[in-house]
Structure 1
Amino acid sequence: MHEWLTEWGGSEDCLRAILQCLPQAQVFATIDFLSEANRRRLGAAAIRTTFLQKFPGARTRFWNYLPITALAVESHDLRDAQVIVSSSHAFAKGVITTAEQLHLSYVYSPMRYAWDLHHQYLEDYGLQRGVKGMLARYMFHRLRQWDRASANNVDAFMAISHHVRRRIWRAYRRPARVVYPPVAVDRFALQERKEDHYVTVSRLVSYKRVDLMLEAFRQLPDRKLVVIGDGPEAAKLRARCPPNVTLMGWQPHEVVQQQLGAARAFIFAAQEDFGISPVEAQACGTPVIAYGVGGSEETVRDVRTQAQPTGLLFDAQTPAALAAAVRDFDTHATAIDPHACRAWAETFAEPRFRREFAECLALALDAFRRDPAQVEAAVVRG
C-alpha cells in the first residue's frame, strides 16, 4: 500500500525496491498518475487505486481532497492478503486489516502537516487566522486523531532514519527499526578534481530552506552557489537571488551528476527525515555542508568529530550559521578524502536496503506464526 503515485521520488524508489523483495505483490495506491516510463520501473505489478482517481483535479490539486483521503485508503479491500506492507508518509498505514493479516509499515515520516510541520504549513498557506484557519486547524486536529488511532493497525514499524524513529515514538508511542532507504549510488561517478563552486539539488519548497542558502551566499560574495531544482518557491527565490548564485531550474540526471561531481561542496540547509541528495553528492566524492539536525546527523560524518569524515555540520538554521560553516569548511577541506565520501555513500546502497528489509519480513512472519503479540519485538530487536 503506497500513498499516491504522481511523480517519481524517493518513496517511489523505496516502493520499487520493496517490490523486488516481493515480486508477486499487488500494489494499491490512492491515485496513480505516473508516466508509463515510471510505471515500468515498478515492474509488472498491477496497481489498484481508489475513488479519488476519478475525482476532478485529482492529479494536480490532490491536496483539495485531504479531508477524505483517509476514507479513500480505508476503502481498499485487502481481505485476500496474507501480508500487507504500507509505504507511508501520511495515510497508507491506515488500511483496514484483519487479525489473520501481518501488517508491516515502512515509514518515511509521520504525517508532517499534522505533526512537526503543522504551524509551518498553516503559515505557508496563509491559514494562521480567520475562518479558513480555524477550519484548517480543526481538520489537522482530526487527522492527528485518525493518524494515531490507525497506528494500531500496524504490527511493526520500520523507519527510514533514527530521526524518524524518534518521531514515530513521539506521535504513536511505538518503537521502530531503522532501515535506511536505498540510494542509487551506482548512478553517480566518483570525481576527485573539484572546482570552486558550491551546489545544492532541491525541490524549491519552503522547508528546504533554499532562501537561507541565498542569504548566506549574499554574505559570501567571493563564493559561487549553483541551485538545481524547481518548485513553487522558484519565482520568490529568483526575485531575491544575489549575483553569485545561479538558479538552474530542473536539470536532467547528466547535468546533476556533472554539477555534483565538480562542486567543492554540497550545501544542505533543511531538516530532513533522511535526505537522499547529500548521499548522492558523497557518492560523487563531494563533501557536504549540512544543517546538523535530522537525517544529516546520520548521513554526514563531521570533519571535526569523526574519523573518515565526509563533511561539516552546522547547528543553527540561519544564514549567518551557514556562512560561518562555509568559511570553516575552508580550514578543513583537505582533511576530507573524496574516496572516504564515496565509501560512506556506498553503505546506503540498495543491496543493504533489500537485505535488511527481507530480514525484517522474515522475522515478522516467523513471530506472527508463533504469537502475533511478539512481532514488534522481533522486528525491532532484530
Structure 2
Amino acid sequence: MERSTESGRIETVLLHDWLTGFRGGERVLEAFCDIFPESPLYTLIHVPNTTSEKIEKRKIVASFLSKIPKIESHYRKFLPLFPSAAESLTIRENPRLILSSSHCVIKGVQKPKDCVHISYIHSPMRYLYDQYDNYFGKHAPLYQQWGGRTFRSYLTSWDLSSNDNVDYMVANSKFVQERIKKYYRRDSHVIHPFVELQDFREHAKKDLPKKDYYLMVTAFAPNKRVDLAVEVFNELGKPLKIIGSGQQDAWLRSFAKPNIEFLGNLSRDQVIHHMREARGFIFPGVEDFGITPLESLAAGTPVIAFKAGGVLETLTEETSLFFTEPTAKSLKNAVEKFENINFEHGRLVARAEEFSKEVFQSRIEGFINDVVPR
C-alpha cells in the first residue's frame, strides 16, 4: 500500500492519540503500521518502549505534552490542553493520505493541502458525551468534578469543529456509528477491529479443563464497571481474578474481599493462560466494541456480558450469557444461571475466528483504495 513518487513525497502519515501502553487501540494502530511500514506517526504523548516494536521503530513525532515529567502517570489530568497539543503538531511531510486512530483529539491535527484524512473512530470522547456522569459525577474527586464543569463546553465545541478536518470517518462498530451520527451529525463506514488469533491457536485446538475462578481483563476506568463485579463477587464469595490497573485501583481494592484477587498488569502470555483456565469471563461495562470478550472466546472461555454496546455485534447466545440491567442483582443472577449452562468449545472459537486481523486489514485497504485518488 505504501507508494512513492518521483518527487519522493511520503504517501501516508499515521496519527494516534497517545503512546503510553499497548491495548486494543494500539493493536489497531499496529495493523495500520503493517499496511504502511514506512509512514511517520504523530501523537500527543510518546513514552518510549511502551507499545510494540512495529510502532516504535518508525519516526514518531510527539507534542509538547511529552516533555512534561512523569506525563505517563498523569496525562488524563491534562485533558484541557489536549486540543492545543493536537493543534501544535505540524505535519512536515506531503502525504496523500492521513490515517488517524482516534478516541480523543488526534483527528484534529491540521491536514496538509490536497490530502485525504480517514479517521478510524474508536469512540467519540465518551467522557464528554453519554458517559460524562461516570467520569465527572458526584463520585469523582472534587477537582475532577470542577474540571468537567469548567471545560466540558470548550472541549465539546472544539471536538465538533475538529471534525471539519476529517474527510471520512470509519467506526469500529455499529454502536459507535450510531454515536457518531448522534453527536457529530456525520455518516460513517463500519469496519470491526480484530483478534490476534495466532496468539490463541494452541488454546483453540482442544477443550482443556477449566479451573474454578472467573476472570476480568480491563482498565480500571469508570465505564468498565469493575466496581459492579467486585460488589457481586463479594456477595457470592466465588473466586474472581482481575487483570489490569487504572485510576480506580486503590478504591476497588479497598472494598474487595479476599476471594477477589488483583493481579495487576501481566504479560500477554499470562493473560492468555488465565483466559484459557477461567470458568467464565466477566464483562459488565458498556464498550464501543470490546476486544477482550472475543479474546476470551478464542481461548475457549464463554462470557457473561452486559447486554449493551458493541458486544451485541460480536457475542451471541451460543457463546455468552447476557444480563440486562447494570445492577448487582442482574449480574448476580447471570453468574448463578451461567454455572448451569454448558457452552460448546467449537462454537466459542469459531465465533472469534470471524474477527481476524487479515479481514480487518483487507477491509481497511479496500476502503482506502475506494476513497483516495490514485
Does TM-score exceed 0.5, indicating one fold?
yes
The aligned residue for residue 30 of structure 1 is 44
Q: Size of the alignment, in residue pairs?
A: 354
Q: Identify the range of structure 1 (21-30 vs 270-279) with the bigger mean alpha-carbon deviation.
A: 21-30
Distance 1:26 1:136 in 2: 33
Does 2:23 match 1:9?
A: yes
One-letter amino acid of the counterpart of residue 25, structure 2: S
Distance 1:218 1:64 in 2: 31
Does 2:253 match 1:244?
A: no
Distance 1:54 1:18 in 2: 26
- Work out which of the residue numbers 348, 355, 371 in structure 2 matches 1:348: 355
The aligned residue for residue 294 of structure 1 is 309
Q: Which runs of 5+ in 1 are unaligned?
A: 303-308, 370-382
Report SS of the residue matched to 1:23: coil
Q: Is the contact made by 1:113 and 1:140 (CA closer than 8 Å) also made in structure 2? A: no
Q: Is the contact made by 1:127 and 1:136 (CA closer than 8 Å) also made in structure 2? A: no
The aligned residue for residue 368 of structure 2 is 361
Distance 1:55 1:198, change over 3 A: closer
- Once the 2 structures are TM-superposed, how far is the Cα of residue 88 of structure 1 from its aligned partner? 0.5
- Once the 2 structures are TM-superposed, how far is the Cα of residue 268 of structure 1 from its aligned partner? 0.7
Report SS of the residue matched to 1:232: coil
- Work out which of the residue numbers 302, 316, 331 in structure 2 matches 1:322: 331
Q: 1:250-309: CA deviations, max 9, x gaps?
A: 32233322221122211110111111111111001111010011111112102xxxxxx1
Distance 2:287 2:174 in 1: 12
The aligned residue for residue 9 of structure 2 is none
The aligned residue for residue 5 of structure 2 is none
Q: Identify the range of structure 1 (59-68 vs 89-98) with the bigger mean alpha-carbon deviation.
A: 59-68
Identity rate, percent? 34
- Work out which of the residue numbers 64, 75, 81 in structure 2 matches 1:51: 64
- Superposed, 1:176-191 pairs within 5 Å as 176-188=188-200, 189-190=203-204
- Superposed, 1:370-381 pairs within 5 Å as none
- Once the 2 structures are TM-superposed, how far is the Cα of residue 47 of structure 1 from its aligned partner? 0.7
- Once the 2 structures are TM-superposed, how far is the Cα of residue 43 of structure 1 from its aligned partner? 6.1
Distance 1:219 1:133 in 2: 31
Distance 2:175 2:279 in 1: 28
The aligned residue for residue 71 of structure 1 is 84
Does 2:329 match 1:313?
A: no
Q: Which runs of 5+ in 2 are unaligned?
A: 1-14
- Once the 2 structures are TM-superposed, how far is the Cα of residue 104 of structure 1 from its aligned partner? 0.3
Distance 1:324 1:16, change over 3 A: same
Distance 2:310 2:48 in 1: 28
One-letter amino acid of the counterpart of residue 93, structure 1: K
Q: Identify the range of structure 1 (89-98 vs 186-195) with the bigger mean alpha-carbon deviation.
A: 186-195
One-letter amino acid of the counterpart of residue 216, structure 2: T
Report SS of the residue matched to 1:277: helix
Does 2:291 match 1:276?
A: yes
What RMSD in Å do the two structures reach over aligned CA positions? 2.0
Distance 1:183 1:160 in 2: 13
One-letter amino acid of the counterpart of residue 246, structure 1: E
One-letter amino acid of the counterpart of residue 18, structure 2: W
The aligned residue for residue 3 of structure 2 is none
- Once the 2 structures are TM-superposed, how far is the Cα of residue 247 of structure 1 from its aligned partner? 2.5
The aligned residue for residue 154 of structure 2 is 142
Does 2:215 match 1:202?
A: no
Q: Is the contact made by 2:241 and 2:262 (CA closer than 8 Å) also made in structure 1? A: yes
Does 2:115 match 1:97?
A: no
One-letter amino acid of the counterpart of residue 358, structure 2: P
Distance 1:59 1:196, change over 3 A: closer
Distance 1:229 1:81 in 2: 38
The aligned residue for residue 263 of structure 1 is 278
- Once the 2 structures are TM-superposed, how far is the Cα of residue 205 of structure 1 from its aligned partner? 2.7
Q: Is the contact made by 2:33 and 2:54 (CA closer than 8 Å) also made in structure 1? A: no
Distance 1:39 1:224, change over 3 A: closer
- Work out which of the residue numbers 113, 116, 124 in structure 1 matches 2:127: 113
Distance 2:75 2:211 in 1: 42
Distance 1:321 1:346, change over 3 A: same
TM-score, normalising length: structure 1: 0.87
- Once the 2 structures are TM-superposed, how far is the Cα of residue 98 of structure 1 from its aligned partner? 4.7
The aligned residue for residue 18 of structure 1 is 32
The aligned residue for residue 374 of structure 1 is none
Distance 2:77 2:334 in 1: 40
- Once the 2 structures are TM-superposed, how far is the Cα of residue 57 of structure 1 from its aligned partner? 4.1
- Once the 2 structures are TM-superposed, how far is the Cα of residue 347 of structure 1 from its aligned partner? 1.3
The aligned residue for residue 253 of structure 1 is 268
- Once the 2 structures are TM-superposed, how far is the Cα of residue 164 of structure 1 from its aligned partner? 0.9
Distance 1:64 1:220, change over 3 A: closer
